[in-house]
């Protein structure tokens, strides 16, 4: 028996399918029994639940022989650390395994912790199956790609990730192992929104991004017919009416985008996905129209900066002019663009912030429907060359306990990194701008601010927006906190966010 754990990563109201552990479970041999414990479910005592499975299985022919956790940087890590410690002290004899993005990027503190026995870096399906053979004494752990551990002499064995395979070579998501209805929630897309991941990796080379550090510069996409088959099941059997595609990069090129559009069209779903600005600009008018017809409602693009110099330093491979053009094309086709920006150039942070804020105004003029997502630049380990030529490991914690401190959570979530080139004044400049912009143009994601509050916010923000004076909008902040049915949720990251957390 294997217990696969998704430590709490977000509030129950934001929970989505725990895809990472579903993928690991689906790849286990048919003879292996396994169960998912999802910390995002409401009212669940995760440690208690795991322990009750362990206790129920103890003394049977199939006791729990591994507890495996997925761990993403950020709040999930903060929850995974105390949970793992508690599990280790309660069930010392059961091997504890970590996988996921945090350990893939920062293996040393995980291996050194003393309470994680095995770490799997990168794609986990095959490595986890081989680890079970290691636990049975049938395989030498040092021979397993991606498997990291402490050797008998106390030194670390940190393996490189294994050569990974694409989604078509992996089993289908095991929907029968979760209660699907518990994971379909209202979003701006629909009443019963779900999530899906149809590819692995990304072929681009942005040198601030953690994806290429884990998966290299490659992407493999699933056959669109298979994607449509899985979504049809969710829509037909469970009433899913909309979907967020989790893929880092959903479209490879024009031909593949058309194929996706044609496969999804019959399903009648509304959907959100991430795409590159340059890829979008290569689409023909016909491809845009097919995508629109197929339900593409919002497209998220990493715009990152309004400065060509900064985009070049980031190896982003796009220009500010192309971003403006993408804003125009999305407007023409009635698709909402969600542009994400990374603030805080290590060389000239103030100049970059000013240029980018001015650029966002321009984007808003071209496409008033445009949505803004903002992050602060947080150096992330890279295979080659980092944006700003900084050492992303310098000063990062050596222990998991330190990683879970609030200042490092702010670092990992890219919400509030403590970096020498960004002070509170500069961060406030970005946050104040964002508050003015989102009050003046309420986000389609915002279902929590009441109508009067939205009206008052618009009115108050209008003067500021026109004059370009954003600093310290105290009254707007007050109106916002008064008008929200629920307070801003700083755990509602990315596609979960009703609006960016505005503190
Ligand atoms: C879903 C998701 C979330 C969800 C959390 C999901 C959950 N666990 O409940 C939410 C929205 C909360 C979230 C938040 C954040 N996320 Co997030 N998220 C994703 C997303 C979109 C999909 C992950 C997924 O399900 N993939 C599908 C599964 C099948 O693949 P996988 O997770 O990679 O799992 C494979 C391997 O990693 C490994 N593996 C994973 N877990 C395990 C466990 C075991 C035991 C084993 C053996 C192997 C293993 O094997 C799996 C199968 O091959 C990815 C982007 C992406 N497409 O991957 C970003 C991504 C992982 N998130 C990222 C980030 C930075 C964050 C945030 C820190 C920042 C932010 N402000 O958004 C926050 C904070 C996280 C937190 N709360 O702790 C980055 C990580 C980059 C990095 N390496 O640093 C990504 C890659 C997005 C990006 N392009 O930047 N996220
Ligand atoms: S930022 Fe986006 S496009 Fe660039 S490497 Fe990362 S996932 Fe790919």
What pLDDT sits at residue 499?
A: 44
Q: Is 204 in the pocket of ligand 2 (CB under 6 A)?
A: yes
444, part of any domain: no
Cβ(340)–Cβ(349) under 8 Å? no
CATH number at residue 100: 3.40.50.280
111 Cβ inside 6 Å of ligand 1: no
Segment 341-370 shows an average pLDDT of 97
Q: Is 476 inside a domain boundary?
A: no
Q: Is the CB of 214 under 6 A from ligand 2?
A: no
Q: Are residues 365 and 297 in the same domain?
A: yes
pLDDT single digits (tens) 63-77: 999 999 999 999 999
Residue 503: what pLDDT?
34
Ligand 2 mean position, distance from CA 290 (Å): 25
For residues 403-425, average pLDDT? 94
In terms of domains, do 63 and 128 share one? Answer: yes
Say if CB 15 and CB 182 are below 8 A apart: yes
For position 492, what pLDDT does the model report?
Answer: 63
pLDDT digits (tens, 9 = 90+) for 203-235: 999 999 999 888 889 999 999 999 999 999 999
- What local confidence, expressed as pLDDT, does residue 470 receive? 95
Is residue 434 in some structural domain? Answer: no
pLDDT of 4 reads 98
Whether the CB-CB separation of 163 and 222 falls below 8 Å is answered with: no
Any ligand 2 atom below 6 A from CB of 311: no
In 90-116, which positions are buried (b, 16+ CB within 10 angstroms) versus exposed (e)? ebeebbbbbbbbbbbbbbbbbbebebb
Q: Are residues 242 and 373 both part of a single domain?
A: yes
Say whether both 139 and 215 belong to one domain. no
**Of 174-178, 321-325, 384-388, minimum mean pLDDT range:** 384-388
Give the residue numbers spanning the domain of 136. 2-157
Tell me, yes or no, whether 52 lies in a domain: yes
202 lines ligand 2 (CB under 6 A): yes
At residue 502 the predicted structure's pLDDT band, cuts being 50, 70 and 90, is: very low
What CATH code is carried by the domain that includes residue 345?
Answer: 3.20.20.70
pLDDT for 161 equals: 87
Please report which confidence band the pLDDT of residue 14 belongs to, taking 50, 70 and 90 as the band edges: confident
Domain-embedded: residue 175: no
117 lies in some domain: yes
pLDDT at position 497, please?
Answer: 56
Q: Give me the residues paired with residue 150 across strands.
A: 156
CA of 209 to the centre of ligand 2 (A): 6
- Calpha distance 393→390 (Å, rounded): 9
In a domain, 108, yes or no: yes
465 within a domain of the structure (yes/no): no
The predicted model gives 346-350 an average pLDDT of 96
Q: Residue 338: name the closest of 369, 375, 292, 376 by CA.
A: 369
**According to the model, what pLDDT value does residue 368 have?**
96
Provide the pLDDT for residue 383: 85
71 Cα to the center of ligand 1, angstroms: 8
| CA Rg value for the chain | 23
Ligand nearest to the CA of 118: 1
- How many Å lie between the centroid of ligand 2 and the Cα of residue 205? 7
Q: Do 212 and 353 fall within a single domain?
A: yes
Could you tell me if the CB of 378 is within 6 A of ligand 1? no
- Answer yes or no: do 152 and 20 share one domain: yes
> Using a 6 Å cutoff on CB, does residue 346 contact ligand 1?
no
Chosen domain end from 340, 370, 385: 385
- How much is the pLDDT for 491? 61
Rounded Cα distance, 302 and 475, in Å:
31
Q: Choose the final residue of a domain: 385, 402, 420.
A: 385
Q: Which of these three, 367, 385, 403, is where a domain ends? A: 385
Indicate if 133 and 215 belong to the same structural domain: no
Say whether both 60 and 150 belong to one domain. yes
Both 89 and 138 in one domain: the answer is: yes
Output the CA 121–ligand 2 centroid distance in Å.
19
Say whether both 266 and 142 belong to one domain. no
* DSSP-derived pairing of the beta strands 147-150 and 118-120: antiparallel
Say yes or no to pLDDT of 11 above 80.
yes
Question: What pLDDT score does 320 carry?
Answer: 98
| Number of domains forming the structure of the chain | 2
The predicted-structure confidence for 449-482, as pLDDT tens digits, reads as follows: 899 989 999 999 999 999 999 999 999 999 988 9
Burial class (CB in 10 A: 0-12, 13-18, 19+), 415: buried
Residues 98 and 142 in one domain: yes
Average pLDDT, the chain: 94
Verify that 212 and 272 share a domain, yes or no: yes
């Amino acid at each position: 028996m294997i217990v696969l754990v998704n430590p709490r990563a977000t509030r129950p109201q934001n929970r989505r399918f725990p895809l990472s552990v579903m993928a690991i479970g689906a790849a286990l041999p048919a003879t292996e029994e396994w169960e998912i414990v999802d910390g995002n479910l409401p009212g669940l005592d995760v440690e208690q639940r795991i322990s009750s499975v362990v206790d129920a299985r103890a003394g049977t022919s199939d006791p729990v022989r591994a507890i495996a956790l997925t761990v993403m940087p950020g709040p999930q890590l903060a929850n995974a650390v105390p949970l793992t410690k508690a599990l280790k002290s309660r069930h010392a004899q059961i091997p504890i395994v970590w996988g996921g993005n945090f350990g893939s990027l920062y293996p040393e503190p995980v291996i050194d912790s003393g309470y994680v026995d095995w770490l799997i870096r990168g794609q986990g399906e095959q490595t986890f199956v081989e680890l079970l053979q290691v636990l049975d004494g049938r395989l030498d752990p040092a021979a397993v790609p991606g498997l990291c551990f402490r050797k008998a002499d106390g030194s670390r064995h940190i393996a490189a990730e294994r050569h990974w395979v694409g989604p078509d070579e992996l089993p289908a998501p095991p929907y029968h192992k979760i209660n699907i209805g518990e994971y379909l929630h209202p979003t701006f897309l629909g009443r019963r929104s779900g999530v899906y991941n149809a590819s692995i990796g990304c072929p681009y080379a942005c040198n601030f991004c953690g994806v290429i550090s884990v998966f290299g510069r490659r992407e493999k996409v699933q056959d669109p017919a298979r994607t449509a088959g899985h979504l049809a099941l969710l829509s037909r059997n469970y009433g899913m009416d909309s979907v967020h595609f989790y893929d880092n990069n959903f479209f490879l090129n024009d031909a593949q985008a058309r194929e996706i559009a044609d496969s999804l069209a019959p399903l009648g779903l509304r959907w959100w996905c991430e795409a590159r600005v340059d890829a979008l600009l290569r689409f023909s008018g016909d491809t845009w129209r097919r995508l629109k017809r197929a339900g593409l409602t919002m497209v998220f693009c990493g715009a990152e900066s309004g400065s060509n110099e900064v985009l070049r330093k980031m190896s982003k491979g796009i220009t500010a002019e192309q971003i403006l053009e993408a804003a125009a094309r999305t407007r023409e086709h009635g698709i909402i663009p969600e542009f994400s920006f990374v603030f805080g150039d290590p060389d000239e942070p103030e100049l970059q912030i000013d240029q980018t804020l001015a650029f966002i105004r321009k984007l808003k003029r071209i496409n008033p429907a445009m949505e803004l997502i903002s992050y602060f630049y947080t150096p992330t380990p890279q295979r080659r060359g980092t944006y700003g030529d900084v050492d992303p490991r310098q000063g990062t914690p050596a222990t998991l306990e330190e990683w879970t401190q609030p200042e490092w959570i702010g670092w990992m979530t890219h919400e509030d990194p403590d970096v020498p080139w960004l002070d509170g004044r500069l961060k406030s400049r970005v946050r104040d701008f964002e508050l003015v912009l989102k009050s003046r143009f309420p986000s389609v994601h915002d279902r929590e601010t009441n109508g009067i509050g939205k009206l008052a916010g618009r009115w108050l923000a209008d003067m500021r927006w026109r004059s370009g004076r954003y600093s310290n909008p105290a009254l707007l902040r007050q109106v916002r906190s008064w008008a929200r049915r629920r307070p801003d949720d700083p755990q509602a990251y990315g596609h979960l966010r009703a609006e960016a957390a505005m503190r």
